[in-house]
């Protein structure tokens, strides 16, 4: 583990060759999220959004020393009592994550609980570690969950599984999550790094402008905010782009395209 993770801290941001990595870094506390961590995540998201070189964001966790890996135990419920915080503040994190320009991947390298499950769902893609557990205990704590989180659950789990998550508070196994189509891959520790690296490389090989604009459109459709004229405008913009010209030329010449993002 890098020296950056030697001591527990707020989430750590690293940017290298077009890939930003945010690592939750409180392994001894099962990476629970305190209000200071939420503020750090929002600051990291803003930094990433302003950096045009970042095309992929990987969200993962430091699980060193844990008896069983836990990606995140959820929001520290003691934070509800801090002025200006609580459920309304927590909601800002997955909402901001879902709107980011880069493609977001959750490298879910441990079990996940509570509000952190919505952070996972807010990512575009997910890789899961075999043997992990997922649980949403909101109603077991007496809480009606916030609207955008419920919407993400219904959109990604489907209504039946979302009802199971909230109306029973029972955990899901990794296999049950995989059956819902939640993961791009569900792998063991030996295949973890290679699986993640391969997915990142494949995304970086795509046309940046087309990926960025298509992500916007897919999110709008999922959120019930589809505007056909706006989508057509994006379609026409990319059809006139240098990247589309390069993509067609590369296809005809049977070579790898060299996209420039415009």
The pairing of beta strand 133-135 with beta strand 185-187: unpaired
Instruction: Band the pLDDT of 7: cuts 50, 70, 90.
Output: confident
Quick count: other Cβ atoms within 10 Å of Cβ 142?
6
pLDDT of residue 252: 95
Domain 3-204: which CATH number of 3.60.20.10, 3.90.226.10, 3.40.50.1110, 3.30.70.360: 3.90.226.10
pLDDT of residue 241: 95
Domain ranges of the chain: 3-204, 208-253
pLDDT of residue 76: 81
Contact 71, 63 (CB under 8 A): yes
- From residue 84, give the alpha-carbon distance in Å to each of 170, 194, 217, 252: 31, 42, 33, 57
What are the tens digits of pLDDT across the range 115-160? Answer: 999 999 999 999 999 999 999 999 999 999 999 999 999 999 999 9
Which residue in 206, 216, 218, 208 sits closest to 250, CA to CA? 206
Neighbouring-strand partners of residue 169:
none
Residue 49 phi, psi (nearest 5): -65, -35
List the single range of 27-31, 80-84, 122-126, 133-137 with lowest mean pLDDT.
80-84
In the predicted structure, residue 223 carries a pLDDT above the cut 80: yes
- The rounded distance, in Å, linking the Cα atoms of 138 and 144 is 7
């Amino acid at each position: 583990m890098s020296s950056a993770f030697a001591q527990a801290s707020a989430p750590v941001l690293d940017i290298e060759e077009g890939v930003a990595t945010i690592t939750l870094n409180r392994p001894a506390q099962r990476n629970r999220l305190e209000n200071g961590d939420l503020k750090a995540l929002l600051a990291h998201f803003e930094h990433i959004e302003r950096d045009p070189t970042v095309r992929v964001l990987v969200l993962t966790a430091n699980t060193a020393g844990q008896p069983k890996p836990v990606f995140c135990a959820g929001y520290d419920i003691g934070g509800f009592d801090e002025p200006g915080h609580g459920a309304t503040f927590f909601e800002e994190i997955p909402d901001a994550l879902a709107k980011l320009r880069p493609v977001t991947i959750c490298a879910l390298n441990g079990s996940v609980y509570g509000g952190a499950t919505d952070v996972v769902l807010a990512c575009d893609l997910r890789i899961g570690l075999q043997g992990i557990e997922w649980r949403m205990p909101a109603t077991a704590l007496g809480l009606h969950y916030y609207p955008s989180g419920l919407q993400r659950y219904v959109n990604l789990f489907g209504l039946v599984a979302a009802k199971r998550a909230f109306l029973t508070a029972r955990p899901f196994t990794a296999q049950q999550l995989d059956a819902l189509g939640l993961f791009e891959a569900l792998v063991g520790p030996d295949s973890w790094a290679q699986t993640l690296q391969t997915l990142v490389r494949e995304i970086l090989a795509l046309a940046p402008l087309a990926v960025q604009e298509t992500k916007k459109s897919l999110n709008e459709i999922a959120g019930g905010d589809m505007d056909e004229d706006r989508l057509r405008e994006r379609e026409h913009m990319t059809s006139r782009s240098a990247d589309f010209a390069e993509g067609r030329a590369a296809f005809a010449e049977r070579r790898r395209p060299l996209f420039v993002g415009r």
